Every structure is written in structure tokens, then in C-alpha cells.
Amino acid sequence: PTSIFAIMSGLANKENALNLSQGFPDFKSDFHLIKLVNKAMLDGYNQYAPMPGVYGLREAISEKFKKLYQAKYNPETEITITAGGTQAIFTAITAAVKKEDEVIIFKPAYDCYEPTVELAGGKPIAVQLDPESFKINWEEVKSLINSKTRMMIINSPHNPSGKVLSKEDMQQLENILKNTNILLISDEVYEHIIFDNQSHESACLYPGLKERTFIIASFGKTFHNTGWKMGYCAAPAYLTTEFRKVHQFNVFSVHHPTQIALATYITNEQNYLNLGDFYQQKRDFFLNLMKESRFKFIPSNGTYFQLLNFSNITDENDFDFAKRLTIENKIATIPISVFNEQNLDTKVLRVCFAKTEETLKKAAEILCKI
């Protein structure tokens, strides 16, 4: 079906509703970064970038991996610049999954994983997580592994729950995958949006995972410009070779001037290391106002999403409720059943708090009246 993000943002625009559905900031990206893109255009970087991406940007990403995670990725053979996270995920799945291969995914799952696996001829094996704790039962995962299991997809910080995988989770996963040929996609697009002094457990910190993982990252989430559709994939050379075989015919290369600008911009870690604090303040500002509402919630641990349980308010299914809120109350949210196995309805909506305090105040005012 059509992606929920297209449906809800479309409805929000039509109804002139406050749009807390699709995840994107309603404030500006750094003017300095915009100027750098502008300069790159004026400097003449307006033809195709190299197929794997601008080398200087790949080098800067490689440095960032070294600094943050002490992980080595060769910019020549192990990093590819993509048109956002979704293209990187599509490309990794298409490069690795063949007909009848099984791919284990955890639900609620970001909406592009399953259709892409199916398009590649593979079979998604869905594990529905507990609707409150969203914890992975690794024993259950172990029991699903067989000779057809080709890949597993993890996502931390997790969209839509805002939960974060712990060191223990990653160690268990490392143990389970040891002595198998199973590949991993680690969707880490919210790596810098993590709260309450928790740390991001990147797959690259675990040698037994790093050697089999496509790490997916996004600049849009980090630098407040989701519309630029810029991201990357870091993976060992043998996987990057396969990744690029698809990438070259899927997009060939991505927006050149933006890559030139990002190559400079990401060398300053001040441009991303304060992001957790920045969004934690927004989460707390919003949830403080939401205390007055009839929604129930557990504060998000990461991402710029917050789940709101409405079981105290109505019996309606979440999709109908989200539509009604958009049309009648002029606020758009995401019903999370669309990410669940068989659209399990847990009476939960997802809201995006990547918004100005003014927008968050308006949103809370509406939600508190419901």
C-alpha cells in the first residue's frame, strides 16, 4: 500500500492540519551549511559526482567512525554515499537477498523493510515485539534461524518506539550470528538523537557484527534537512562491492554540491554531538505540556518520535482515530498499527517532536483537549 507518510502528510496538507506525522523538522537547517551547498554550486560542482560518492566526504565519514566508535572503514572500498536512508536500505537488501531468502525483521518496523525484501523475492520473517517494552526476545530470534535465513534488520534508536538497543542486546545478537552467514542491516539513522545519557550501540562496535553489517546513516536527521535526501552506507569491502553493483544502476550517484558541502561541514563535531541534548529538551518541553492530557506515554529514549497511547480516550482503531484527529482537530499523527504484524492495533499514535516550541505548544493544546 501507499506509505503512511505520504498518506498522512497529504491529508495534513489538504486539511491544513498541524503536521506531527511524517518525521521532519519545522525549523531551519544551519545557514552556514546552506551557504556551503550554494558555494559548491557556484564553484561548478554541478555534474555527476563519482559513483560511490565524493571522496572527501567518504574520508570525512571514515574519520567520524574512527573518532566516535574507533571503527575502521576504508573510504575507497567501504563507504558509499546514497540518496538518503531509504535508498541505502533498498540497495543493501536488493544486493544481498535472493529468491526465497528469509529476512528477520522486528515489528513495529519502519515501513520500507518488508516491501523491499518482498520485491527482491525474499520472505520477511516478522517478530512482533511487546507493545510496551519493545524488547527483543533473543531466544525467540534464535528459534527462527534456519538454513534459509539470509539477513536480519535492526534499528536503534528505533522508529517508531524511540527505544534503544543495549550493549547486552548487541552482545546477544553477536553471539547468535557467530558461525552463521547471516548478514545484518543496522539502521542507525537516528544515531545522534539519543537521550538521558544513554550511548548509541553502533553495530560497528562489535567485531562479530561489523564484519557482516551494512550500517545505514542519514544526514537529513542529523542536520535538519530531510528534503535533501542524503545518507550513506558503511559496510566491509566484500559487501560494499555488491552494494555498489546495485547502487550504480539504482541511482548511479547522488547530489554533487551537497556532498562537497557536507565534506566540510561534518568535520566539525559540534555540528552533531549536541543533537541529543537539543532534542531531549524538545521531548521534555512537549511531554511536560502533555501531562495534562488523557494520553498515556513513556518518554522516548531516542529518535524524534514519541508514542502516545489513547486507550483512555476511544475504542476506535488507530488509523480511523488518526484520520479523525487530522480532519476534525487539525493535528496529524501516525497510527502505529501500520508498522505492526498484521496491523496489530495497540491504540497508539506516533508524534514527531522535531518542531519549534511554538508548534509543540499548539500541538499540546489541541491534544490536551481531546
Candidates 87, 116, 159, 333: give the one binding ligand GLN (CB under 6 A): 159
Residue 207 to residue 37: CA distance in whole angstroms: 36
Smaller CB separation from ligand GLN, 159 or 309: 159
Size of the residue set binding ligand GLN (CB under 6 A):
6
Supply the minimum distance, in Å, between the C-beta of residue 110 and ligand GLN. Answer: 7
Smaller CB separation from ligand GLN, 86 or 225: 86
Supply the minimum distance, in Å, between the C-beta of residue 211 and ligand GLN. Answer: 28
Supply the minimum distance, in Å, between the C-beta of residue 334 and ligand GLN. Answer: 7
By CB under 6 A, is residue 5 in contact with ligand GLN?
Answer: yes
Smaller CB separation from ligand GLN, 86 or 280: 86
Query: Nearest to residue 75, comparing CAs of 184, 235, 219, 225?
Result: 235
CA separation (Å) from 94 to 160, 197, 211, 322? 24, 36, 19, 33
How large is the angle between the packed helices 256-265 and 31-42, nearest 10 degrees?
130
Query: Interaction with ligand GLN in 33-62: which residues (CB under 6 A)?
Result: none
Smaller CB separation from ligand GLN, 218 or 258: 218
Residue nearest to ligand GLN as judged by C-beta position: 23
Name the β-bridge partners of 60.
none
Residue 76 CB coordination number (10 Å): 13
Supply the minimum distance, in Å, between the C-beta of residue 159 and ligand GLN. Answer: 5
Supply the minimum distance, in Å, between the C-beta of residue 98 and ligand GLN. Answer: 26
Supply the minimum distance, in Å, between the C-beta of residue 61 and ligand GLN. Answer: 20
Return the residue matching grid coordinates 554550486. Answer: 41
Smaller CB separation from ligand GLN, 23 or 335: 23
Smaller CB separation from ligand GLN, 95 or 336: 336
* DSSP three-state, residue 264: helix
Residue 74 to residue 145: CA distance in whole angstroms: 31
Supply the minimum distance, in Å, between the C-beta of residue 325 and ligand GLN. Answer: 17
CA 211 to chain centre: 21
Smaller CB separation from ligand GLN, 24 or 69: 24
All three cell numbers of 45 = 560542482
Query: Is residue 226 within a helix (H) or strand (E), and if so which, with residue range?
Result: none
Residue 233 to residue 215: CA distance in whole angstroms: 6
Supply the minimum distance, in Å, between the C-beta of residue 209 and ligand GLN. Answer: 23
DSSP state letters, 318-369: HHHHHHHIIIII-EE-EEGGGGSGGG---SEEEEE--S-HHHHHHHHHHHHT
Residue 288 to residue 281: CA distance in whole angstroms: 10
Query: Interaction with ligand GLN in 68-97: which residues (CB under 6 A)?
Result: 86
Residue 182 to residue 151: CA distance in whole angstroms: 5
Candidates 7, 12, 15, 23: give the one binding ligand GLN (CB under 6 A): 23
By CB under 6 A, is residue 359 in contact with ligand GLN?
Answer: no
Query: Interaction with ligand GLN in 179-238: which residues (CB under 6 A)?
Result: none
By CB under 6 A, is residue 22 in contact with ligand GLN?
Answer: yes
Smaller CB separation from ligand GLN, 265 or 305: 305
Q: Where does this chain bind ligand GLN (CB under 6 A)?
A: 3, 5, 22-23, 86, 159
